[in-house]
Amino acid sequence: MKLEDGGLFFRQKRVGRGGREFWMWKFRSIVPNAEEMKSKLEERNEMRGGVIFKIKDDPRFTRVGKYLRKFSLDELPQFWNVLVGVMSFIGPRPPLLPEVEEYSAEESQRLLVKPGLTCLWQVRGRSEIDFAGQVRLDLEYIRSQNLWTNLKLLLATIPAVKFGRGGILSRIDRCRRVK
């Protein structure tokens, strides 16, 4: 893996609560020159109408990186970010500075809380949710966060990661309403 991708860890400047920048750690899942490749891939961006860049079968992923990303294993080093207090277990995912520079006033509300390892949109649909949907769910979480919501999100994250897909929390909520 080290020979394939340039090292085990990857750190990236992200934006946290109050607009403060911090280094977020991940296991490396993309090739070292991924940022240079991004500009050539811009027309393939599937996240239209927002500031996020995502494409299926991204050629910047390493062989091991595809597996790490599918099951969110690349995120494990972020427990360090939680330990040092710049992230929490639950909250909006930490954005990149160029993304924040494009935020509207409403989108900037995502910076009112610490970013998290997991969030509402990750367990409801992961990458299938567009940026506007991610913002809507993040703001819904910020307005209604409580111990019960946090516990549900933590529990729903386990199968979302295990199966590499979201939608888990929606099924839990539907089952609860039926009873």
Helix (H) or strand (E) holding 9: strand 9-15
Span 116-125, average pLDDT: 89
Q: Of all residues in the chain, what percent carry a pLDDT higher than 90?
A: 46
- With contact defined as beta carbons under 8 Å apart, do 170 and 145 qualify? no
Query: Measured in whole angstroms, how far is the alpha carbon of residue 70 from the centre of its chain?
Result: 12
- What predicted TM-score, i.e. pTM, was given to this entire model? 0.78
Tell me the per-residue pLDDT of 55-75, one tens digit each, with 9 for 90 and over.
888 888 888 888 888 888 899
Domain boundaries, the chain: 2-178
Query: Measured in whole angstroms, how far is the alpha carbon of residue 18 from the centre of its chain?
Result: 18
pLDDT of 101: 94
Q: Which among 130, 140, 135 is positioned nearest to 169, based on CA atoms?
A: 140
CA separation for the pair 54, 25 (Å, rounded): 19
CA separation for the pair 119, 122 (Å, rounded): 5
Q: Which residues pair with 10 in a beta bridge?
A: 26
pLDDT of 51: 75
41 or 115, greater pLDDT: 115
Q: Which among 170, 160, 22, 6 is positioned nearest to 87, based on CA atoms?
A: 22
